[in-house]
Amino acid sequence: MKALVVYSSLTSNTKKLADALYGVLQCEKDLVSITDNPDPSGYDFVAVGFWLQKGAPDEKTQEFLPKIGEKEVFLFATHGAAKDSDHARNAMNKAKELAAPARICGTYNCPGQVTEKMMEKAATKDPPPPWFAEAPAAKGHPDEEDIRQLVHLFNELGLP
């Protein structure tokens, strides 16, 4: 089996999760930034990590997901919203739709710290984005517990 871990990360939040997944994969594997335009065709398994933009996966991830095809896929994301928020859930559902006809074998999301610059920009919007009120609680995330939960879920699913 050959696995690909692809990540899109502006602030290194999603990259932290990608690094953790890459570290636990027990097969031939590659870790690639989405900015390097990876080709998923030579892989049996693809893990895709992304950040949320306007309530959906970021634009580069939206372009990448339909290219995966009929492979086993694990999706993971970071965002300024609460882990169980509608904002996070809706974005993950959008990612699943974009990845069709892939076989989604699992998903994980957690808060990711939002930069001061992003918070300042969001504060000027009327109304503010749906994640704005929850973003202060994302400070320091993803943390060791978030990464532990991701690795545990990944292992529980019996992924490569």
* pLDDT at residue 116 tops 90: yes
Q: What pLDDT was estimated at residue 94? A: 98
* pLDDT at residue 108 tops 90: yes
Percent of the chain's residues with pLDDT above 90: 99
What tens digit of pLDDT does each residue of 8-32 get?
Answer: 999 999 999 999 999 999 999 999 9
Q: Which domains does the chain have, with CATH numbers?
A: 2-156 (3.40.50.360)
Q: What is the mean pLDDT of the chain?
A: 97
Q: Phi and psi at residue 142, in whole multiples of 5°?
A: -70, 140
Alpha-carbon distance 39 to 137, whole Å?
36
Q: What confidence tier does 159 reach under pLDDT thresholds 50, 70, 90?
A: confident
Whole-model pTM: value is 0.97
What tens digit of pLDDT does each residue of 26-81 get?
Answer: 999 999 999 999 999 999 999 999 999 999 999 999 999 999 999 999 999 999 99
Average pLDDT (91-110) is 98
